[in-house]
Amino acid sequence: QKEVEQNSGPLSVPEGAIASLNCTYSDRGSQSFFWYRQYSGKSPELIMSIYSNGDKEDGRFTAQLNKASQYVSLLIRDSQPSDSATYLCAVNFPGNTPLVFGKGTRLSVIA
């Protein structure tokens, strides 16, 4: 069973803090991982992808991947109220399978 698990939240953080979003997945052989942001009533928007163990930084966002632990996370530094959204984790499992999405974590940044 190919599963992607995320805490549904809401995760509330104060403005300026670091928000940490976590995702676990079921197959250690998975190769590529994606984070999307979805504002209420809008479509998901790609934030970043990560393929190798370790950290990948893009502006205020850092994705962290640990394949041995089957864990991928997204850190948002200096969180802003405009970061309030649902964050979706997606995993490309081995084989001819579609991208599998978690149900998302709702983040609320409090001003």
Partner 1 sequence: KAGVTQTPRYLIKTRGQQVTLSCSPISGHRSVSWYQQTPGQGLQFLFEYFSETQRNKGNFPGRFSGRQFSNSRSEMNVSTLELGDSALYLCASSLGVEKTQYFGPGTRLLVL
- The residue within the footprint of partner 1, chosen from 24, 62, 84, 92 (CB under 8 A), is 92
Establish if 101 lies at the interface with partner 1 (CB under 8 A). yes
- Which tokens sit at 7? 């805490």
Select 17 or 108, whichever has its Cβ closest to partner 1: 108
d(CA 66, CA 86): 22
Establish if 76 lies at the interface with partner 1 (CB under 8 A). no
Residue 24 contacts residue 38 (beta carbons within 8 Å): no
With CA atoms as reference, report the closest residue to 23 among 91, 109, 89: 89
- The residue within the footprint of partner 1, chosen from 49, 64, 70, 108 (CB under 8 A), is 49
Binding mask 26-45 for partner 1 (x = CB under 8 A): ------x-x-x-----xxxx
Select 79 or 106, whichever has its Cβ closest to partner 1: 106
Establish if 61 lies at the interface with partner 1 (CB under 8 A). no
Q: What's the Cα-to-Cα distance from 62 to each of 23, 76, 98, 104, rounded to whole Å? A: 14, 7, 25, 17
Torsion of CA 50, 68, 73, 97, to 10 degrees: 60
CB of 101 to partner 1, least distance (A): 5
Q: Which residues of the chain form contacts with partner 1 (CB under 8 A)?
A: 32, 34, 36, 42-46, 49, 88, 90, 92, 96-104
